[in-house]
A = this chain, B = another copy of it.
Amino acid sequence: MTKIYFEDIAVGDTTTSHSRTVTKEEIIDFARKYDPQSFHIDEEAAKKSIYGGLIASGWHTASNLMRLLVDNATNNRAGLGSPGFDDLRWVRPVRPGDSLRYESTVVETRKSASRPEMGIVRADVNLLNQNDEIVLSLKSIGMVKTRPI
């Protein structure tokens, strides 16, 4: 597969991923390990909570976004990783059976001043459910190789 280099990326470029369905078993398995709050791990307690039923840990939802990014973009790009991201927001709960996809839009590209072999790509990323409602948003920061001469 042809790799996508920094020069191939422009402000305004948009990407839509495939969808990934979140199961009850995954929600509970993740939360038992990393976020054992009752509304993430106990269906009965969750019914009595303000959420009215089991919801996914926000970190599970973010991890599902990462899986979609790896499957749809990361492995196609001449990427050099990411230093982090800004402004993550959990906009709406994710429930068992929800089907998630992301839409991303490049908002900034700039060559690195200190490292001419790479550039920085910033994108606004929204994770949506099957009803086209945003469930999570963040501003991503990616380091991408410049095209070899």
Residues of A within 8 A of B (CB): 26, 30, 33-37, 57-59, 62-64, 66-67, 70, 74-75, 82-90
Contact = CB atoms under 8 A, between A and B. Distances in A.
Number of copies: 2
Contact of A87 (B26, B70, B84): B84
Given A59-B59, A59-B62, A67-B34, A83 B74 contact: no
A49 to B, nearest CB: 10
A70 B33 contact: no
B83 A85 contact: no
A122 to B, nearest CB: 13
B57 A35 contact: no
Nearest to A26: B33
B86 A90 contact: no
Query: Nearest 6 pairs between A and B by C-beta?
Result: A84-B89, A34-B63, A84-B88, A34-B67, A59-B63, A59-B66
A84 B127 CA distance: 14
24 contacts: A30-B63, A33-B63, A34-B63, A34-B64, A34-B66, A35-B63, A35-B66, A35-B70, A36-B67, A37-B70, A37-B75, A57-B66, A58-B84, A59-B59, A59-B62, A59-B63, A62-B62, A82-B90, A84-B87, A84-B89, A84-B90, A85-B88, A86-B86, A87-B87
